[in-house]
Amino acid sequence: MPTTPTTEAPAATAAGSAPGGDFSDVTRSDASLRRFLHGLPGVDQVGADARAASLGTRSIKTTAKAQALDLAIRMVDLTTLEGADTDGKVRALASKAVRPDPADPTCPSVAAVCVYGDLAATARQTLGDSGVHVAAVATAFPSGRASREIKLADTRDAVAAGADEIDMVIDRGAFLSGRYLEVFEEIVAVKEACGPAHLKVIFETGELQTYDNVRRASWLAMMAGGHFIKTSTGKTQPAATLPVTMIMLEAVRDWRAATGQMVGVKPAGGIRTAKDAIKYLVTVNEVAGPDWLDPDWFRFGASTLLNDLLMQRTKMRTGRYSGPDYFTLD
């Protein structure tokens, strides 16, 4: 049963925006951006937490569960972002991304392999024409503390190495200081540096302090042209949570109502079990709608989630759980 939204959807003409999604007047200055972003409907935190908790109790069974597990696998950005990463580790991860369960050729591939930019070429070489994307973090990930010139060079290098998706981090200090135009212009510049690559904009929601700020960051990133909005780097706690993801899903839903354009959502960090992944899929369906139940529009940023999805999938197929060492550890 549909549940009540935590806020009303902003009208297409709210706070000075024009019908059809022309936000040029809004993005002209810090003052106009502030008026728009602080004019968005506020988030009822208690209501948001309660609705997310309610959605998290939904369960699905049998055939629907099997379909959900395969969909969740197809939505995984299989990730390694450690200082000790090597070419060999990335090759192994990329091979697993293409064939997550070598014993079962019906198991789908994941959406992407996510690595540091200097390892994008290794991932691209290994993935070849498999259809699995190469996502590279850039813009001084995870802190975002670097000059814009360095961030843009970081982005261009990753794209040149073969990344077709770039995961950038916003300057949280600038955002929290109210320097919205600076954040907006940096996202625009990074998107231009991406060329044909898609851009995911990471907020690090655990540092944004309030749900209202999550909603404002979502609209700011969408106005700047981000293809995806992403919760977290996975390096700060809390990372992805169901209430924060729900607020971002509301934002992309309202953005499409205002502009006709779809934007994707990627929760990242802390999603480790198939049970959790299914909660997110239920929330996607209930909040944004079934159009977002597609790897083009929803991703999981995860390093350990895939193994649990594979274990649950094997249980449904064979009737028994695989041992913990059956699938490779990432």
Active site residues: 167, 230, 266
Helix and strand numbers, DSSP H then E, in the chain: 12, 8
- Joined together, the tokens standing for residue 143 give 């802190």
- Please report where in the chains the tokens 């510049």 appear, as a residue: 189
174, 183 in Cβ contact below 8 A? yes
Pick from 86, 141, 132, 127: nearest CA to 109? 132
Residue in this structure with the two tokens 């992407």, named with its chain if needed = 112
Cβ count near 11 (within 10 Å): 12
Give per-residue burial for 220-253: e unless 16+ CB within 10 Å, then b. Answer: bbbbbbbbbbbbbbbeeeebbbbbbbbbbbbbbb
C-alpha to C-alpha distance for 252 and 267, rounded to whole angstroms: 13
Q: What whole-number distance in Å separates Cα of residue 207 and Cα of residue 143?
A: 11
Strands of the sheet containing 133-137, edge to edge, are 264-266, 228-230, 198-202, 165-169, 133-137, 112-116, 76-79, 300-302
Query: Rounded to an integer, what distance in angstroms lies between the CA atom of residue 247 and that of residue 249?
Result: 5
Cα separation of 133 and 11, whole Å?
35
d(CA 130, CA 161): 17
| DSSP-assigned beta bridge partners for residue 165 | 135, 198
CA distance 248 to 217: 9
